[in-house]
Amino acid sequence: MLGRAAGLALLLTPLLALAACGGAATPSPPIGRSAAAPPPRPIEMSLRRSNGEWIHLGDLRGEPVLLFLFATFDGVSQAALRPTARFARAHPEVHVIGVAVQPDAKLLLDPYEAALTPGFPLTYDPARDVHHGTSPLGPIDAVPTFVMLDAFGIEAGRHVGFPNSHTLDRLLVEAQARGSPEPPQELPLLAD
């Protein structure tokens, strides 16, 4: 019994000393974690079309962007072209971009686009970071995957699999709820 009381006294002594000094113990974050999560950052990527044209996501700030991550060989991705194209027609204020997520995307993208005419640009990542899961989008669990970026370029929502009739609209609502960047304000001129 004396051993247990001595152990308790050893545990309480630092807390009593701290309380006597008027200080308070502040909890430290768990090992390996920071005290606060860093703020979300805009997705910066450059994607290439089969005709050599580049699409830089940073150039599209101010409006939402829907990234349709697909594979040319995937039947579900091919079936998802129809609701994605319908969404693109219904929401011209959203930049809809297809991103082929496969190693041979550069070779297959042009014939795929010519055969299926999706109604929105199809691209690939020349660095293959999206394919490897090392892009700013992080790991891609499956195709098709839909990633909605808000007007600031920050991911607002993600859906994996075939979209139902409300999925893409719900992602857009999430992006619009975040607002849009304010246009730059002109500074007033100071008079002498």
Average pLDDT over every residue of 32-59:
84
pLDDT tens digit sequence for 9-31: 444 444 344 344 444 444 444 44
For residues 44-54, average pLDDT = 96
Strand residues in the chain grouped as ranges (E) = 46-49, 54-56, 65-70, 95-100, 122-124, 145-149, 155-160
Nearest alpha carbon to residue 124 among 179, 51, 48: 48
What does the block give as tokens for 69?
A: 């991550």
Rounded mean pLDDT of 53-59?
A: 97
179 contacts: CB under 8 Å, gap ≥ 6: 150, 151
Q: What are phi and psi of 56, to 5 degrees?
A: -100, 120
Q: Are 116 and 93 in contact (CB under 8 A)?
A: no
Which tokens hold the place of 33? 């974690």
Rounded average pLDDT over 59-66: 97
Residue 185's pLDDT is 55
pLDDT for 177 beyond 80: yes
The answer to whether the CB of 106 falls within 8 A of the CB of 126 is yes
Between 29 and 93, residue with greater pLDDT: 93
**In order of start, what are the domains of the chain with their CATH numbers?**
46-176 (3.40.30.10)
Mean pLDDT, residues 159-175: 96
Assess whether pLDDT exceeds 70 at residue 161.
yes
CA dihedral for 153, 159, 163, 164, sign (positive or negative): negative
Q: Among 46, 58, 39, 55, which residue's Cα sits nearest to residue 178?
A: 39
Instruction: Report how far Cα 136 is from the mean position of its chain's Cα atoms.
Output: 7
Residue 7: pLDDT band (50, 70, 90) is very low
Distance CA 172, CA 156 (A): 8
Q: How confident is the model at residue 188 (pLDDT cuts 50, 70, 90)?
A: low
Query: 192 pLDDT exceeds 60?
Result: no
pLDDT in tens, 121-155: 999 999 999 989 999 999 999 999 999 999 999 99
Mean pLDDT across 28-49 = 72
Cα 128 to Cα 85: distance, rounded to the nearest angstrom = 25
**What pLDDT shows up at residue 133?**
92
Encoding tokens for residue 172?
């857009």
Please give the pLDDT value at position 50: 94
Distance CA 133, CA 140 (A): 6
